[in-house]
Structures are given as C-alpha cells and as structure tokens.
Structure 1
C-alpha cells in the first residue's frame, strides 16, 4: 500500500511558549512538512482554549499557503453550525482563487470549546446543529457557483477550480452524512478511539457520487508519539496523557505539560484506567513499531491516508517526529 501522510496541527502552547510562539510554530511546521513531501496540512478551530492558539483556521490557512509551495492546505475543520454557509463559501472561494488546487475545506459540527462558546458565537443563542445537513448541502451548492434559489446570490469569486469539502467526524452519523452528500470523510481517531471501523464502513456503504467526486475518499486522523525506543516514546506520550485527562476533568491549563513534569505525575486507579482508555486515540512507539501500527490502521480502516497530530515538547521534537515518519513513508 502506498500510504500517504498528512498533518493536523492545533497550534498547541508548549511549556515556556506564548500564543505568538504557537502560531509561528504552526507556520514553521507547515514549511517543514511541505519540504518533506507530506500530502496536506490542516489546522483546527478551537475557541476560548488557553493551550490551543488556533481560533481562526481560515486566517491561518491563508498564511500557511503563502509560506509553502506545494502541500495542500486546509481546515480540520470549520465548525459550520456557527456560521453562514454563504460566508464560508466566499472565504474559501477567495482562498481557492489565491491558491488554486491547493485548498481543502474541512468542516465539522462540534462546538470547538467550552459550552459558552456556542452562545458567544451565535448571539446568545444555541446553534441549530440539527440543520447541519442542510447547511452542508447549501455550502456545496455555493462552492460550485450555484445561485441560492431564494436569494439569487452566488459565492464569489467564481473560478475554474473548487476547493473540495472534507467532513470531519468521530461517529457513524457524520460518516453516513458525508457519504450521502458525496464528499470526502476523515474519522477523528484522536477524539474517539473506538468507533473508526463502524464509521468508515458507514461512509463507504452510504456513498453517493456527487459533483465533487465520483468515488469515496477517506482518511483517519490520530495522535502519534514517536521515540528512539518504545520506552522513550512512552515518556514523551506522558504529557499528552496528562493533558487529555485534565481536559476531561474540566481543568484549564495555560500550556501543554512537558514530559519531564508529566512523567512524574501520580494517578488514582480510575485516572490510570482513563489514561489507558485514551491511549486508543494514539499511536505510540519506536519507528518500526509506529510504522507497523500506521500500516495496520490503514488496512483496518481501508484508507490510503493518515493524518498525523503530534503534540510533544519541545517543538524541535515535533519536527523530528515528522522527519522520521517521512523517511519511512517517502
């Protein structure tokens, strides 16, 4: 199998870094993996989250595309229930006009932060998430240049190329919707470590050819922590273990803990169980071990692309991880 590798970056604040550092590291990482030959580079949308700086991915996409040469750049993803499909289509038609055939529009339905985010982004009202399928259908029409039947407006600028839509999800429902609308689908293994096979089966079984594409196209996004040995990888993964546990407990941190701090952390029995449960969201190990695990994941899920999300300290360790992965997957 010719397995393609891509990157999902959440602009994490590592210990000792500022928000400015985190955003600049996103640009630097994009330039780095572009030179290494990665397929695409996506940035996420998170709001009111101290440890993640990426709150406006459409802005980051423009800057990343300007600083790179050939890698596809996109969102992972725009949280559509918060926004007008028309405005999102216009934004990405502008990006497509600036960088033809290099822009991906990844969308999702999640809130993207603490509960108050929903109200802050929607004028004090809770977004109508049940309209997500209709919103997505409208977005696809606008991107293709079709006028709205009621308003008779088009999303401009028009052009010969259209940014493809990817639906990101962590359940079978989102997978089924992506298939029915005929768009590409990414399963968020880094969010849900259990439902991947079910979700991707639903996607493939429900796929209907569309204007965008005639065949289904899917990928999986997963946390990856690499070490010279399995023991070293486990050491670096301890910081992600602690960060995920703190998030689940509702504790707010200004940064991601470093492994020196996290590896000394002691947990209760139930916390240790939760840490092990969250390891399903990660691939951890030496280079040979990670290579085998990634290939097995691709085969199990019937995909030819895996999107790697690596959050470790220091930043140079993140760059090293992507270098090592590139060396085995060309």
Structure 2
C-alpha cells in the first residue's frame, strides 16, 4: 500500500478535482473523506491494544478478500445510517474507494521493487525481508510526495498532526459501517468500536514514529534490531525522515521496465504515471460507490474483483 501521506494527499487532490461528485459541505464530511482515504489500514495498528488485537485480521481480510462485496456492503451500511449520519458515512465510503483505487494501481509497482530487491542475491536481503523493503519503498515515496505537494519536510509538516483527524461523533458513525461490513462480507461480528479504537492506536503509532533527528531514529532502530535479532528495523522502515527532495530512488522517473510479481505483466510506468492514472479515474469511482444503484453487481463491474493488491479476489472465493 502507499503510505499515510501519499493516501492523504491523493484524497486532497481528488477532492479538488471532483467537487461536483463530492460535495463535502462540512468539516466532518471532509475529515471523514480524508480518513476514508486511509482505507482499512488503521486496523493493522490495533495490535498495540491487547484486548482488541485480534481484529487486526479483519484489516487483512478487507485488504485481500472479496473487494467487490466489501464495497457493496459498506454502501448498504451507509444506507442504513440515520439521516443525520448519512452524509458523513457517504464521505467516508468515497474516501475508502479512493484508497482501494490508489492501492490497486500502485501496489504492483511497490511489490515489484520489493520482489526485485529481495531476489537479487544480496546477503541478508532475501525474500523473508520483503515486508521490510516494501515499507522502505513506501516511506521513501511518501517523503517525496510530501515535498512535491508542500515544499516541506516532516520537520515543518508533522504527519501525526495533519492526518487521521475526525471527531468522536464521526468515528462512531464509521464504527457502524465497519461492524456491518465485516459481518456481511466476512461473517465476522467485530467489536462495535473496532474502527475508532484502531484510529486511536494509529495516531499513537504515528506520534511514536515521529523523529526529526537521525541519531534518535538510528538509536531506536538499533535497539529494535538488538532485541529482535533482525538485521532490519520496522521502526526504521516506517519512520519518515527529514528529506527535502521531490524525487525518490524508487519513483522510476527513467521509465525502466518492471514486472508485476502477481501477474507477470511488464510496465514502464513511473510512480507519477500511476498516481495520475488513479487520480484520473477517482471521480468516476467515487461517483459509482455513492450512486443509488450501487449493489453487488455494480461493485463487481467497478472493481473487476481486484483487491487492494491489484490481484484477483472473487466474491465467492473461500476466505484464506
């Protein structure tokens, strides 16, 4: 998945481009839309809360399984909200659809980098470290997007202060959407506060990851490596650096050929090409999920049964 800032700025770009399709009339609606652009990712961070950690698996299910049914179920959940809540719920769903769109467009590109680097025969950089490399690539691109959009680094633009905003009332509305979507799509009756707790956990993690000084970041990463015995640090891979650059060594500005590990398809697209392609499609996707006739059939037509990885995931496939 692209990382938190890339998704946030993508949603802001969509909101600017699709004002007719997305009449975000209130602050709550705009914040719900931007929070929706983070998709199910907040669920991955609920693992830091032991009593709720088991629901992190629902994030994996949403990411990998039954994408068409998931979007249709979320749309149905929005329809069941009270009149007062529907506009906020719809804004969240529109943002969520943008997350799916950017993920399925960019994920194969990031996966290609991770696959190539971990299969290059470099000592202590084998396939078992694919996840760490994936995080590194996404973080590097995140830093680039931030500088391109704002001419700022994290020293001036704090990720934890500028993302994941939403009031308790907004989170309570989204909790309802998640409860019904998880039940109807995956037969998982999750805790009714799962999403709001996840967002709280994600906010905490973002604050802990924030470091503007390399010695601080390096010390924490070294401590993690010493404790885990791994040559690579998750903290180091996720923590944004102060990097004032509008380019990334992973952006493929040279348009070199790369191969989608899931399909074998070859492309020369750069990160910017993929970002713009998703942005061009986003207004139509948001409009589709908000239409009155958006049901299972419409969701299958929209998604092509492609999950957030850009891989086939039919609605009738058994859960992994």
TM-score by length of 1: 0.29
Write 1 or 2 for the structure with the bigger share of helix.
2
Q: Which has the higher strand share?
A: 1
TM-score using structure 2 length: 0.30
Pick 1 or 2: higher relative contact order, CA cutoff 8 A, min separation 6.
2
